[in-house]
Amino acid sequence: MTTDLGSLPLLARGKVRDIYAVSDAPDADLVFVATDRISAFDHVLGSGIPDKGKILTQISLFWFEFLRDLVPNHVVTADVREFPAVLRPYDDQLAGRTMIVRRAAMLPVECVARGYLSGSGWKDYQVSGAVCGIPLPAGLLESQRLPEVIFTPAAKVNTGGHDENISYDTVVETVGAELAGRLRELTLAIYGKAAEYAATKGVILADTKFEFGLVDGVITLADEVLTPDSSRYWPRDQYRTGGATPSFDKQYVRDYLESIQWNKQAPAPALPDEVVRQTRARYLQAFELLTGRKEL
């Protein structure tokens, strides 16, 4: 649930990841450690999901490699045997759940691709008939496949990490027309390639979000990629329209928290053992289906 790397500079402790710098040098590589923490409704819960950090890291590494010909990524290594000497005393904490990554100048846009109408996109459509200002045909149902994949960016609006949908024009105002166009192009291309692959594994990639940064001036895929925390994955054999579709993510946790009528204020509750077990099973199933591996 928590990491401790001694005197290494701790730069951030997020909802899931602890981020350290390898040294005090301003351009030092970063240490991304995915913990077993799980959050819902902008709060870290009192229970972790065993092996969740390893599952997320291994899925990200699979996709970073799969997409290497399409877009560069920030990964230096995820093999603890190749980590700097200063990290070696912490191998037991880091193994399987850690990436050493290049430091990137992160772009202030969450790049979201949607192939299906779900989540905040469905809510937006119900009110406006559009998603992020993109008009959609009338009469679409929840979970329905969209006529074409759409780019629906978001921006961080508070320190709690909540995202707010924004228009493409806002992206242009934020990063400039040329960079905005490239982000949209890359987002749709990555989604297309990943969704096509996932379909061969019996999985629907309904939507996903990416984070990009600049490394030596080059647009680089960063953070995590195509994990159940950043993507909506559906088992194809359970897909349906007109309502929510079962998914390989923490929706099971959200549904439990709604059932106990938690007021969504701190402190966040712990989860019953059965909810932890079922949630872990969903993450693990996504890992096995997508990567073809059984061992983390």
Placement of tokens 């998914």 in the chain: 247
Could you give the residue range(s) of every CATH 3.30.470.20 domain in the chain? 106-249
Could you give the residue range(s) of every CATH 3.30.200.20 domain in the chain? 10-103
The CATH homologous superfamily for domain 106-249 is: ATP-grasp fold, B domain (3.30.470.20)
Query: In angstroms, how far is CA 266 from the centroid of its own chain?
Result: 23
Q: Closest Cα to residue 269, out of 279, 261, 280, 277? A: 261
- pTM of the prediction? 0.95
Task: Give residue 157's pLDDT.
Answer: 62
| Axis-axis angle for helices 52-66, 177-200 (nearest 10) | 110
DSSP conformation letters of 97-124: TEEEE---EE-S-BEEEEEE--HHHHHH
CB 279 within 8 A of CB 221: no
Burial class (CB in 10 A: 0-12, 13-18, 19+), 163: middle
CATH of domain 10-103: 3.30.200.20
Alpha helices in the chain (DSSP H): 52-66, 91-94, 119-128, 168-175, 177-200, 251-259, 273-291
Per-residue pLDDT of the chain (296 residues; tens, 9 = 90+): 999 999 999 999 999 999 999 999 999 999 999 999 999 988 999 999 999 999 999 999 999 999 999 999 999 999 999 999 999 999 999 999 999 999 999 999 999 999 999 988 999 999 999 998 899 999 999 999 999 999 999 997 654 456 788 999 999 999 999 999 999 999 999 999 999 999 999 999 999 999 999 999 999 999 999 999 999 999 999 999 999 899 998 888 988 999 998 999 999 999 999 999 999 999 999 999 999 999 98
Task: Give residue 162's pLDDT.
Answer: 61
d(CA 53, CA 296): 10
Helix (H) or strand (E) holding 130: strand 130-131
Buried b or exposed e, range 94-124, using 16+ CB within 10 angstroms: bebbbbbbbbbeebebbbbbbbbbbbbbbeb
Long-range pairs of 247-253 with CB within 8 A, sequence gap ≥ 24: 247/206, 247/282, 248/203, 248/282, 248/283, 248/285, 248/286, 248/289, 249/282, 249/283, 249/286, 250/38, 250/40, 250/279, 252/278, 252/279, 252/282, 253/38, 253/40, 253/45, 253/279
